[in-house]
Copies of this chain bind each other. A is one copy, B any other.
Amino acid sequence: MNNIAVVLAGGQGKRMKSDSPKVLCNVLGEPMLEWVISACESAGLEKLCVVKGFCAEKIDEYLAARKSKSEVTAVLQAEQLGTGHAVMMTEEFLKANAGGNVLILNGDAPFIDAETINSALDEHTSTGSAVTVVTAKIDDPKGYGRIIRGANGFEAIVEHKDCTPEQLAVNEVNSGCYWFGTADLLEALGEITTDNAQGEYYLTDCIEILLKKGRTVGAFTSCNPSVVLGANDRRALLELNNIARMEIIGRHLDNGIEFTCTDGVSVGRAVTIGRGTVIHAGTELRGNTVIGENCVIGRNCILENVTVGSGVDLNNVQAFDSVIDDDVKIGPFVQVRPGCHIKRGAKIGDFVEIKNSTIGEYTAVAHLTYVGDSDVGANVNFGCGVVTVNYNGEKKFRTVIGDNAFIGCNTNLVAPVKIGNSAYTAAGSTITKDVPDNALAIERGKQDIKADYAVKKLAHHRQKLEDKKNGKK
């Protein structure tokens, strides 16, 4: 069977006051459209058609940059003439994939999920329905279209403003997501009109038409009430962020992850965390980040696409597109830029940046150091203030450091340069030539002493202490 999806993504969302289409507004760092498309992909749907409208080129850019598992095409709805009109734009797509069913979704209702999609499809096909409305029961149905069920099942969707007092009390509402038989949809689309107050084509009219034709129309109640949620302004968008945030945190709590305080904590949808790990306040985990067991992450870490082993301790660390092995300890105040591999047992201390480098097992980079474009062996000790000089104004070069090497404080390692195993560089040296294994490299002048030089020089400075002490009396 050829089951496909159509995602409505044409709206501007004027109240967002954005230069982008509404569906590109982010929830937990990902466009709402991404949430919807990826739910379809998780549900196994292989062909999607996105209906674009406002700032259509931004939708194209977004889709072009996306690594899609499914085949995603887009059609333009040049004029905004209603949801039915939007779906009419996909006529070609529907005809090319007829013979199955089509899921119609709103691109700005990000919390649709694969289980809902598939369970609704099961019900849709097993009942032989022409259309199945996805619904949910919610505490406060105000503003939503109510699902009216009668003795024979689904009867109607009644908009809030048209409800009788009895209907207002109904708490099952329309999510705006539907499974149609593709042929049924095409048939009904041909019959809807703009004969209504707004002069628009309504997709919901298709349902009425199919009902009148005596087709089976069903309503599937999702157990995820969030499927009905969308955002028309920045306040609602913030609310969606908060709902997603707490929902995902709750799932990790259930898996045995400890959160000491969730203030400022945000965990992306795709992130996995091992049990026994503690997440502290202010921590953001993004993208395809994977964290092992019994780690301590936070406060105030940002990890994006980082693979972290077990027993790792990160304190005020920002890390991107890197791998951190077991038992590594990093922080506070450290940046790990893309392309790093920090191996087991390494220790990275305060005010250190590591970029595009491998740090060997048990190596220590304690403070105020920049390691860039380097291959560092095991058990290396970096003094404070070491700099790998990887750029000469023209090109970048690599630094190679052997096992057990000892790099003195404030050493410049001018790449390309190689420091041998168990080699030693003296503090304050600028190393421009390779250092053999076991050798000491030193670049330093002679220390001169000029007696009493500072007597006059620091007179003013010394006076300050006197002033401060007197000022305090």
Interface residues of A (CB under 8 A from B): 16-19, 25-26, 28-29, 233-235, 237-238, 241-242, 245, 250, 253-264, 266, 275-276, 281-282, 284, 299-300, 302, 315-316, 318, 332-333, 335, 344-345, 349-351, 353, 361-362, 367-370, 378-379, 381, 383-385, 387, 389, 391-394, 403-404, 406, 408-410, 412, 414, 422-424, 426-433, 435-436, 438-455, 457-458, 460-462, 464-465, 468-469, 472
Contacts and interface: CB of A to CB of B under 8 A. Distances in A.
The oligomer's copy count stands at 3
Residue of A25, A431, A453 ringed by the most chain B CB atoms within 10 A: A453
Contact of A351 (B255, B368, B430): B368
B264 A299 contact: yes
Given A26-B258, A427-B430, A441-B448, A385 B362 contact: no
B389 A383 contact: yes
A49 to B, nearest CB: 28
A34 to B, nearest CB: 15
Residue of A26, A385, A414, A436 ringed by the most chain B CB atoms within 10 A: A385
Contacts of A333: 333, 335, 351
Given A254-B233, A389-B383, A443 B442 contact: no
Nearest to A284: B299
A445 B447 contact: no
Given A361-B469, A426-B430, 17 more contacts: A263-B264, A266-B281, A344-B472, A379-B462, A387-B410, A389-B427, A392-B457, A394-B457, A394-B461, A403-B465, A406-B461, A431-B447, A436-B451, A438-B452, A439-B452, A440-B453, A443-B447
A342 to B, nearest CB: 15
B353 A349 contact: yes
A451 B422 contact: no
Contacts of A429: 428, 447
Given A299-B300, A335-B332, A391-B383, A430 B406 contact: no
Contacts of A281: 264, 266, 282, 284
B427 A414 contact: yes
Nearest to A446: B443
Contacts of A435: 449
Given A300-B299, A432-B447, A404 B440 contact: no
B444 A430 contact: yes
A96 B389 CA distance: 72
